[in-house]
Amino acid sequence: MKSEMKKTTLGPSGIECSAIGLGTWAMGGWMWGGGDNAAAVIAIQASLDAGVNLIDTAPAYGLGRSESIVGTALKGRRQEAVIATKCGLVWHTQQGTHFFEEDGHPVYRFLGRESIFHECEESLKRLQTDYIDLYITHWQDSTTPVAETMDALLDLKKQGKIRAIGVSNVSPETLAEYLRYGPVDAAQERYSLIDREIEATLAPLCSEHNVAVLGYSSLALGLLAGPIDPEREFKGDDQRASNPRFSAANRATLKAFFEALDPIRARLGCSFGQMMIAWTVARGTVAVALCGARVRQQAIENAGAGAVELGDEALRLIDAAAKRHLSALA
């Protein structure tokens, strides 16, 4: 059964989508300790069934693995989904600026015109579609003029290969430069209860120009999903293994935070994770809260947050508890 999902619009494009989106970075396995393709396909389909239609992916998530999973999951259901994918992290060329190594491949930040066209074609093949709803510059490239990048994106839009243009990991100054050359429909940035920097930086400019904000890491890599077992270990290349936010001391701090909010959670009849996602949507800073999932139950739980109505009092109490317990985590 579909939840009573809140809806939103992706900026000037007019594309309507769910206010909660499914993030597929972890499905690609890279930096998340591996992945299970079959479970990921089921999770994507469960998201659609539960009312989440924005599916966010990128070529860099497993060097194409995440996009291929999305393409498989959407066979026969493409019209139900709003696909957001990205360009600008490349391994087919060594142009641009070296960024990191993934599975033995050097990956570069590069947003040159011909490279974007190449990336778009490769993404279309992996996604098994002839158009991308929202095409996002993943990381910015200091070696290519924004005018060249935007010109390529606008041409792809004219060709019908993309419907809307987005940017990610961008400064207000760079976003303003993009806007000089044409409409930007969305900006994707990190945003959660403990990552609120864009409220004072990028969000005001987005509001002024009708740029929808897609907030990624809405649960702070799972930190805000609920109390974490002190004995849990993050293995392999899982980035949380070396992230100081997941220290034993922070887990104890988070336990106290969640205990303080348990009466509110019980009254709302939701999980802690759903309450945090609902907070993200209710704040009004982001149009879409992107939430990662690798299995069916996670996807269904995240989608359920779309029907949670916090109200002003719950919002006030959550903010107060965060200020009291979580300020040292930021």
What are the strands of the beta sheet with 97-102, ordered from one edge? 89-90, 105-109, 97-102
Distances, alpha carbon 50 to alpha carbons 19, 134, 255, 299, in Å = 13, 21, 29, 8
* 164: three-class secondary structure by DSSP: strand
The whole-angstrom separation of Cα 320 and Cα 61 is 36
The whole-angstrom separation of Cα 170 and Cα 58 is 16
Secondary element (H or E) of residue 273: helix 272-282
- The dihedral formed by the CA atoms of 89, 94, 98 and 104, expressed in degrees to the nearest 10: 80
Answer positive or negative: Cα dihedral of 131, 135, 141, 147. Answer: positive
Annotated catalytic residue within 61, 108, 178, 216: 61
Nearest to 220 by CA among 245, 188, 187: 245
Please list, in sequence order, all residues whose beta carbon lies within 8 angstroms of the beta carbon of residue 43, skipping any fewer than 6 positions away.
22, 27, 293, 294, 295, 296, 298, 299
Please list, in sequence order, all residues whose beta carbon lies within 8 angstroms of the beta carbon of residue 103, skipping any fewer than 6 positions away.
30, 62, 63
Backbone angles phi, psi at 20, to 5 degrees: -115, 130
286 Rama sector, left if φ>0, alpha if ψ -120 to 50, beta otherwise: beta
Beta strands per DSSP E along the chain? 7-10, 15-18, 20-23, 54-56, 82-87, 89-90, 97-102, 105-109, 132-137, 162-168, 186-190, 212-216, 288-292
Query: Is 191 noted as a catalytic residue in this protein?
Result: no
Q: Residues with catalytic annotation? A: 61
